[in-house]
Amino acid sequence: MRMLLRIVGVLVVLSLIAGAYFAWSLNHVAALPTGPVTSVAAARILLKPIPDGPNAAQLRQGQYLARLGDCLSCHLRADGDAFAGGLGLNTPFGVIYSSNISSDPEHGIGHWTPDQFYRAMHDGVDAQGQHLYPAFPYPWFRNLSREDDDALLAYLKTTPPVAYQPPGNELFFPMNVRASVALWNVISLPPQPGAQTPQGASPEWIRGEAIVLGPGHCSQCHTPRNPFGADTRGKAFQGGLLDNFVSPDLTGNERTGLGRWSIDDITEYLHTGRNTRAAAGGPMGDVVTYSTSMMTDEDRHAIAVYLKSLPASADADSTAADPASIKRGAAVFSDACTACHLENAVGQPTLFPPLGNNAVAQQNDPTGVLHIILAGVRVGPSPTRPSPLTMPSFAWKLTDQQIADVSTYIRNSWGNRASPVTAADVAKLRSKLQLDEARLTDNSGDH
Amino acid sequence: MATTLKPVDVVIVGFGWTGAIVGQQLADAGLEVLALERGPWRDTPTDFATGFAQDELRYMWRHHLFQNVSDDTLTIRNNVNQTALPMRHLGSFLLGTGVGSGGVHWNGQIWRFLPSDFLTKSHNEQRYGKNSVTDYDLTVQDWGVTYEELEPFYNQFDVLCGTSGKAGNLNGQIQPGGNPFEGSRSAEYPTPPMPQTYGPTLFGKAAAELGRHPFPHPTGNLSQPYVNNLGAQLGACTYCGFCEKFGCGNYSKASPQTTVLPYLMAKPNFTLRTESEVLKVELSPDRKHATGVTYVNSAGEEFFQPASIVILSSYILQNVRLLLLSGIGTPYDPQTGAGVVGKNYAYQTMSSVNVFFDDKLINPFIGAGALATVVDDFNGDNFDHSGLGFIGGAYIAGMITGGRPIEMIYTPQGTPAWGLAWKHAAAKNYLRSFSLSVHGSCMSHRGNYLDLDPTYRDVHGRPMLRMTFDFSDNEHKMSDYLTDRAAEIAKAMNPREIKLNRRVGSWNVVPYQTTHNTGGAIMGDSPANSVINKYLQSWDVSNVFSMGAGAFPQNAGYNPTGTVAALAYHSAQAILQQYLKNPGPLVQA
């Protein structure tokens, strides 16, 4: 009996950690920017040419790895400096702040040795010997070579030092005991590249796999979590939930995944954040801005080749929608959505995504589509397509029932099929996004 | 005591179209560029998103995007014998403020001036005699720059905006479907013209029957999705009918926000400071060199921003006031004709004709800012003015900018302005009427000018600008002649009735006419007749450049933005290719 209690106790702790790990979300999730998006300028550091010199090759390799690894998605807060951290990640157990990884010796990692950096990247242990929370993607970064880690550290040491100390984490017990993470490590590390490489895989496929399972850490969002917060076995890349956004299925599923996408569709999306099928918003918008838009064409192509090889996920059943809800939803759609998505939902190529055969709309979990309608979403700007095209929030304008109806309509029109949405679903997410009060703001009316 | 800030290469005063264009050009060349904008940051999803952009009360009538005249306004009079009074409510023109400014709430009407428009004095003198340009005390001048010189820069603006239209003159060859009177274009429009709705189509048919040459209005409301040279994206217009006075909610109207800012804001060597109002350009002791600008932020703190180059790119009324407040150039004196700053203030001479049908549903709510079929047969010097007693002209447009319910319900002649009879007339005519716009030139006149008001001051204690303006007989004659030409086309459409809205009497600050104020900081070929040279560079202080329609020596019969933008590109090129190598006057006086 005591043994059983002990096991249950460990499981509870693990679940708490797992919950925190997946529920992290940005501090101000609902607000659209009311000022210029200065963080786009900060990203330009990753494109700054590195002058010729004795270790230029290593520094260029490190800079490129900083793009592949999407470091700035987390290590840059609004109006902050590149790599200085301080972005607050909300969890049910408190807030985790990203660390300063600029070259500042006191607040950043300017004094770190290559051994210490390798240990952080590989084992999730920092220079002081403390466990890092797995919001830092060392479970994927451990697949980088020692040479890569050395190059990345060498590059980070050339970035402008920023004397900024991110706030301390505000976590409750037991999350505030970093040693608890050690337990997690024992069971939760995701698969490594090369483990399942098929016979005769092309060098391009192998490169794609190395990026996706390594620095790209794609499955951190796109694979559903098991109760311990690890990749669910057998469900690789079948879609997850992060930050109240759906990270869609990346398998060959034609409804919810990339089944209808060509390799060129994927590379264009990664390059510009937009194509004729979809637009990258929310966390993926950041990934485009800080990472994939700055990769080489070859690497984007390799990622696409690898993703297109993923076998289709099983098609989930969906229940039929109430015709009355569909009818109401069609009216809401005509009023609120057609200015951009147009009356037949075909959208405008690379500007406003078409909603027919739309993967985000058809995810089994409607959270993604509801989040977009409630809070709005901005497409990640990229150097070649800098326009931060933005869908505005409709939380202030549409009721829960109206959002449920229009979502149900979208999920079951123009070739789409997915389970209906209820007003209760909308109310729940509205509450999580702190949009309970339909308020008139600067964004929605005279003031 | 103003805090002195770190010097920059270029300080830009005012961040609308010209500030964005020059900022982008100079930042691309690697200069450290700082833009100061008195108003707030503005962007599509936060300030005029589709969920609330089409709010006539908020934007049009409550002036949500415009200058708040209780903070700052100007004083107005018709002539020097009157005492000017502050304009306490916006009316005849709607002053912008904030990032993008008028570029946010314009209609998107993109025109080029005619080659002869740049030679108003010499061309008309030659064709109609010396008196033609001095009658009625006109003070028209040549621009000091030609259409041919500006053509590549007009084209640059078209490429930026993705302008939708059909060329009428491509490399000297007249093209079917376009404006046969326009100056030669080096390239076709980037996107095809907007499909015309019923009203403009009826107008085009009637005009053609009368032997006129109708063509689709060139538009910054795009006919199809477009990616410009900076990678910025615009969508196809959905004809919602809320352009002028409104921001575009779905990215289909060219504006600084849609065409330049996504690219420019990401540049590390470009900085924008909003809610920072420039009070004065500071000069060196010999007054030949600007050392920078003094500005005040929204907390009331004053700063001195040193800069090597000062770009004045605020609206013309602010630009002229800053020149006067800073002591750059000699103020104009209408009695003696001496001095240049404030001289040749001009406007736009607008009239219209309403047409009312019984049998045709026009559906005016399907509209766009520049959705029109136009004839240019009576603009500029496209027709023989002999014996007419005026110079200049207008385009006539069968236009549907929208059917906004408060502003745009047309009722026939004799309808009461309110009450049951008005309601009946409104209900009967709303769907069955539209308006022909007569968009006339405005020549400059000795008595029309801008100076500092001796009495009234703004919140910062600075003298307000004083506007002295009235339409001259030249303008009235032109407008009457053109309104008659519009009426001919209106009648040829076989409506039940028409209503002529002529330009009569003195100019009044109400109702709304157009926000096309011009002149006051005019360009020319000599410091004796102008404030700035052909590169918009001050004759007196060579590191100050003054953008905008203030440069127009008189106003042509077209919307000004295309020419304003072309002049800005032309100036930016001169700064980069000539001024930076050898700072100093680009044209020797």
CA–chain centroid gap for B558, Å, is 9
Contacts of A37 in chain B (CB under 8 A): 265
* Contact (Cβ atoms closer than 8 angstroms) between residue A259 and residue A253: yes
- Give the one of A378, A386, A446 whose C-beta lies nearest to B266's C-beta: A386
Instruction: Please report the pLDDT score of residue A132 as a whole number.
Output: 86
- CB B554 within 8 Å of CB B442: yes
B125-154: buried (b, 16+ CB within 10 Å) or exposed (e) per residue? Answer: beebeeebbebbebbbbbbbbebeebbebb
Q: How far is A40 from chain B (nearest CA, A)?
A: 6
C-beta of residue B275 within 8 angstroms of C-beta of residue B38:
yes
| pLDDT value for A92 | 57
Dihedral sign (CA A107, A109, A115, A120): positive
- Contact criterion met (CB < 8 Å) for A381 and B262: yes
Q: Which domains does chain A have, with CATH numbers?
A: 42-172 (1.10.760), 323-432 (1.10.760.10)
A348 interfacial to chain B (CB closer than 8 Å): yes
- Find residues 265-294 of chain B whose CB sits inside 8 Å of chain A: 265-268, 272, 274
Q: Do B58 and A33 touch (CB under 8 A)?
A: no
Q: Does residue A391 belong to the interface with chain B, where contact is any CB pair within 8 Å? A: yes
Known active-site residue B516 = yes
Instruction: Sort out which chain B residues have CB atoms less than 8 A from A271's CB and list them.
Output: none
Residue carrying the six token digits 């060098």: A203
β partners of residue B532: B523, B538
Query: Which neighbouring-strand residues pair with B280?
Result: B294
Q: Average the pLDDT over A309-337 and give the result.
A: 95
Identity of the residue in B62, B249, B251 whose CB atom sits nearest the CB atom of A446: B62
Q: Give the residues across from B374 on adjacent strands.
A: B215, B397
Strand pairing category for B276-283 and B290-297: antiparallel
- State the average pLDDT over residues A59-68: 98
Quickly state the pLDDT bin for A234 (edges 50, 70, 90). Answer: confident
Q: What is the pLDDT of residue A447?
A: 38
B365 has a chain A CB within 8 A of its CB? no
**Contact (Cβ atoms closer than 8 angstroms) between residue B38 and residue B459:** no
Q: What angle do CA B313, B317, B323 make, to 5 degrees?
A: 70
Beta bridge partner(s), residue B343: B449
Greater model confidence, B525 or A230: B525
For residue B104 the two structure tokens come to 């946010």
- How far from B40 is each of A38, A441, B64, B527, CA to CA, in Å? 16, 16, 12, 36
Average pLDDT for residues A341-349, to the nearest whole number? Answer: 95
Distance CA B191, CA B167 (A): 11
Q: What is the ipTM of this complex?
A: 0.92
**Chain B CB contacts of A34 below 8 Å:** 41, 46
Q: Are B268 and A44 within 8 A, CB to CB?
A: yes
Taking each helix axis as running N to C, give the angle between helix A282-290 and helix A263-272, from 0 to 180 degrees, rounded to the nearest 10: 80
For chain A, the first-to-last Cα distance in angstroms comes to 63
Q: How far is B47 from chain A (nearest CA, A)?
A: 6
Residue B530: count other Cβ atoms within 10 Å of its Cβ: 24
Residues 45-64 of B with CB under 8 A from A: 45-47, 49-52, 55, 58, 62, 64
CB atoms within 10 A of CB B121: 21
Calculate how close chain A gets to B91, using CA atoms only, in Å: 20
Q: Are B376 and B181 in contact (CB under 8 A)?
A: yes
Report the distance separating Cα B206 and Cα B221, nearest Å.
Answer: 25
pLDDT at A28: 33
- Amino acid symbol at A42: A
Question: In this structure, what are the phi and psi dihedrals at residue A269, rounded to the nearest 5 degrees?
Answer: -60, -45
Flag whether pLDDT at A441 surpasses 90: no
B152 CB within 8 Å of a chain A CB? no
Nearest to A36 among B238, B251, B272 (CB): B272
Residues composing chain A:
447
Amino acid occupying residue B3: T
Show the CA angle centred on residue B32, arms to residues B533 and B588, nearest 5°.
Answer: 20
Residues of chain B with pLDDT under 70: none
Residue whose pair of structure tokens reads 């006149």 in the numeric block: B445
The structure tokens 């901005």 sit at A378
Q: For all residues of chain A together, what is the average pLDDT?
A: 87
Residue of A nearest to B59 (CA): A446
Q: How much is the pLDDT for A133?
A: 82
A187, A104 contact by CB (below 8 A): no
Q: Which of B194, B183, B554, B532 is nearest to B392 (CA)?
A: B554
